Amino acid sequence: MSAGKHCGPSKDSNPGVNNGNLPHVRIVVGDDQQVVLEGIKRILASFREFEIVGEARDGKRALELVRDLEPDILVIEVSMPVMNGIEVAKTVKEQCLGTKVIFFTMHSDREYIKRALHVRVSGYILKDDPNSDLAQAIKVAALGATYFSRTFIETVAEYVMDLEKRVGCEDPYGRLSAREREVFRLLVDGRSIKEIADLLYISPKTVESHKYNILKKMEIDSIGELIRYAIRKKIIKP
């Protein structure tokens, strides 16, 4: 299977690959430890459809081999010397080199996984995962899909949930108390301080205090901006 010189959409993830349909797969492997390179070669040696066509001990050399040999798959450690795996994967994508990148790494922390998502790698396998995971990731990636370890998927799920929580808290309207929201709605409805005081059975001074707190919490400078925010968030109709 020859790597194409074009960028196109990837197929949907489909780990259940029919191995009988898998063509010959040419692979470059990259890791800064020779013992790991030897281990990868041992893992893949039992698969007749795999051919390791090059190996590299740093990221720059791995990228050179991708350009020169046009492999179907690059299996590489994230934390490579000279040029890290993230930079290599990003360059492969930007230059449309056609090679699918799989990270085979010791790093399971969130920061590395976030960066891997940004460069849209075809696989992320941990070195302490079962050996069969690496072989399966290569098979899946060779057919244009993606394969990620269970740890990767769990970490991404946790990250998405945390992100949703943070985004919710960042909405300035969510910072307001129940009483401040009442005052907010009346302010953007065009009510005067005295009218709001009468409607809520509180003093004008208390309304002024709520108004000050609302503008401060929402980091807004004027009632006009408050109204525009309310329209944008569909709290009121224009």
For the stretch 21-49, pLDDT in tens is 677 999 999 999 999 999 999 999 989 99
Query: Quick one: CATH architecture of 172-231?
Result: Orthogonal Bundle (1.10)
Q: Are 203 and 165 in contact (CB under 8 A)?
A: no
Question: Against a cut of 0.75, is the pTM above it?
Answer: no
Give the pLDDT band of residue 236 (cuts 50, 70, 90): confident
pLDDT of residue 164: 59
Which residue intervals of the chain bear CATH 3.40.50.2300?
19-150
Average pLDDT of span 83-90: 94
- Does domain 19-150 bear CATH number 3.40.50.2300? yes
Residues of the chain with pLDDT > 90, as a percent, come to 54
Residues of the chain with pLDDT > 70, as a percent, come to 85
- CB under 8 A, 24+ apart: contacts of 212-221: 213/180, 214/176, 214/180, 214/183, 214/184, 214/187, 217/172, 217/175, 217/176, 217/180, 218/172, 218/173, 218/175, 218/176, 219/172, 220/172
- pLDDT value at 108 more than 90: no
Average pLDDT of span 8-33: 66
Which residue intervals of the chain bear CATH 1.10.10.10?
172-231
How far apart are the C-alpha atoms of 170 and 178, rounded to whole Å?
17
